[in-house]
Chains A and B, each alone.
With several copies, the nearest count.
Chain A
């Protein structure tokens, strides 16, 4: 039975097509979900993809977190369903307080688009379930604000609770403790700066991202065996719809 991943599109998101395509390569199905939708019906997992939601104006994720869809995402997350934020998606998850910390400007004060060597730190997350701890993966990064920052007590908690999911072998952005990705306590909400979808085809130089996406599909398809929560993902049941933000169209 194929797993369906909902890929949320905010105005300004740009990696949604790439994630849909890579999920298909990993053996799943994906469809886009519009940010103004209040339901996530028929979706086993959610990915918040990369891009520049609302232009990243004010701060990355600051405006997007108020989108109507985020209530449903939060509900899914609380019910133990897999929620993964990639890059801008990670930024949105921290702004929405689904993950701790913040993503600041890269230490080098420049955007970085480059391949990165990652190390899997835990298998207790929906993105790394079944992946050998210590395994090295080559997955590109592409961000300006990817420097993960948190206070020392949060960092201690992340370490103690085994919530650092991925680390950079060579830190590209100044991120504390070389963190590339973290999870919530239950392991079902994961945020990471690298783009697994960009390492999904031999023509692109690496297929290592498929390792992570396949783990996500497996986690979503076997919710009972999901890393730390026994709770199956419950699709939210919001109601109504309506665009977020002012609809500025007008005929004169």
Chain B
């Protein structure tokens, strides 16, 4: 068994309104960041998983995303994985 570190990015699905992103974007110009646009907000969840290999780890994390970490009605998830030194 190895330990894998995962970063799960939970994003609002395309087409779902993101008032937090819109609000940030609206205040950017006033702050002198007119060069920034397209703000979308989501959650970043870091966790560790024990698994035999990277594929197994990924499939566990994806299952966790499906069952628990996202609400598929409005969200999807992007998983990135990294093996940890023991």
Contact = CB atoms under 8 A, between A and B. Distances in A.
A contacts B directly (C-beta below 8 A)? yes
B28 to A, nearest CB: 9
A149 B74 contact: yes
Interface string A208-244: 0000000000000000000000000000000000001
A246 B24 CA distance: 11
B71 A57 contact: no
A193 interface: no
**Shortest 8 CB-CB distances between A and B: which pairs?**
A102-B73, A57-B20, A57-B23, A102-B74, A63-B27, A246-B26, A102-B71, A58-B24
B16 interface: yes
Interface in A61-101: 62-63, 66, 94-95, 100-101
Given A102-B71, A149-B74, A150-B73, A246 B29 contact: yes
B19 interface: yes
Interface of B: 16-17, 19-20, 23-24, 26-27, 29-31, 41, 68-69, 71, 73-74
B31 A66 contact: yes
B16 A54 contact: no
Interface in A139-174: 149-151, 174
A66 B71 CA distance: 14
B30 A66 contact: yes
Given A101-B73, A102-B73, A149-B73, A63 B24 contact: yes
Nearest to B16: A149
Nearest to B45: A58
A81 B23 CA distance: 32
B68 to A, nearest CB: 7
Nearest to A150: B73
Given A62-B71, A150-B73, A245 B16 contact: no
Chain A, interface SS category: loop
Interface residues of A, number: 26
B71 A95 contact: yes
B30 A244 contact: yes
Nearest to A104: B74
Contacts of B68: 58, 62
Contacts of A151: 73
B19 A107 contact: yes
A105 interface: yes
B23 A54 contact: yes
Contacts of A57: 19-20, 23-24, 41
A66 B32 CA distance: 11
B23 A63 contact: yes
A245 B29 CA distance: 7
A100 B29 CA distance: 27
